[in-house]
Structure 1
């Protein structure tokens, strides 16, 4: 069974159908790209899967359990976590404090323990794990820096660290390299591969940088006008006339 199964997913906003009868299957250990022109429905799809929106119809099954329509906190605790286009950080807290806060907020109980200062053994384990995540993402030298003082690229990586603090089985990255220079982009794509290869993470990403998608993802789903247009390997998708037409209305998709 696939880790994430989406069947007949539809979302209507009045007369507008933002996502229309979409079927997707994401296998464990995949790095899957979801692409499409602006307004194609990609962000709405992410919002439906993460629980920010409830579907009009259809089902979302994660790790064998139906999660469609559940609260984002429930879905996150099940192991499905997303990042956002804008950095969802605690700007006046340090890098380490950001990751610790994110880890605690996965359950109300652990947050209460943090406030009351109880269960010191658990707290030491949490601290060690958060430092492991920070080291994995090469943020150790910034551990005591305020999030607001980090470069744009490192702020985006801290957003990924905050998501990893919840111990996801699947992480959804919403435009992870947006606004980055080539050096920062290479750094993030390396982290994405390592999350899968070293930590057995399943990764789904929405990204407009086609070169990043084609070089990082093993399989790509193309959304257009809220519908699944096609799926395939990077080579198959980049040579598909329907994809080329959807993006450029021409004969060549430049990467």
Structure 2
């Protein structure tokens, strides 16, 4: 795919996300073993690794879906090791999933309005039952801006369940971004996308980072996409961090080449 230019961000004293010695055990199986790394504000970081490396488990732990067996997690300067997914979301962490999860019977616009309703910032239920007099003009304008940013204006009245996967990915990204997250977790965002759709997604991620000053952490099997899109790459293998560094450094690492590239 075509490279997307990203300027590396300067290292800052206060990391947005800090993982320290994270381990997850399922009986005698170590899904994650002593995983540690930081994310600086404004970074785009990719996590790669073969099947069974622990990528999904890592995302579950970061987002609060699963507690770690050992270790600690700090987000925005606060220890969130014991916090659930809802609390982390309210603190500014958002996640998309490999399996698309739109409200298929709702329009694109209403899918995005749901995110504002969840924050207590809208009157989505009133809109659904036709109480147009209660619509919030400011809220609608905000949604219109998001629709335009992600190329969704033309499909705003279409039921999400009728859309192709590439457009659904944009809907889910827009739905996450409208909540103004400080950390966006993207789980296999290119899954099901063709080359052109993946390039559109890469530009959207660049836009989110630049316009919203949002840190992005993504798990992805498409290694060329990761290498072109990310400032930094973390390679996992058998639940452990095999390497971490710039795309060039990770690509050249002999251990990564043996474990991942064969």
TM-score when normalising by structure 1: 0.91
Q: How does 1:52-131 map to 2 (within 5 A)?
A: 52-106=65-119, 109-110=120-121, 114-115=124-125, 123-131=136-144
Match of 2:241 in 1: 228
* Structure 2 counterpart of 1:194, from 191, 207, 212: 207
Q: Which moved more, 1:121-130 or 1:16-25?
A: 121-130
Partner of 2:156: 143
**Who is 2:186 aligned against?**
173
Deviations 1:36-87 (A, max 9, x none): 1111001100000101111111111111011123121110010011100011
Q: 2:8 is matched with which residue? A: none
How many corresponding residue pairs?
A: 245
Say whether residues 1:7 and 2:27 are aligned partners: no
Structure 1 residues 122 and 48: alpha-carbon distance in aligned structure 2, compared to 1, 3 A threshold: farther
Tell me how far 1:123 sits from its aligned partner: 3.2
Partner-residue secondary structure (3-state), 2:136? helix
Counterpart in the other structure of 2:176 = 163
3-state DSSP class of the match of 2:221? Answer: coil
Distance verdict in 2 for CA 1:146–1:114, change over 3 Å: closer
User: How far is the alpha carbon of 1:14 from its aligned partner?
Assistant: 1.2
Q: Distance in 2 between matches of 1:32 and 1:147?
A: 29
For 1:20, the equivalent position in structure 2 comes to 33
Partner of residue 152 from structure 1, selected from 134, 155, 165 = 165
Give me the TM-score of the superposition, normalised by structure 2: 0.89
Cα offset, 1:247, TM superposition: 1.1
CA RMSD of aligned residues (A): 1.8
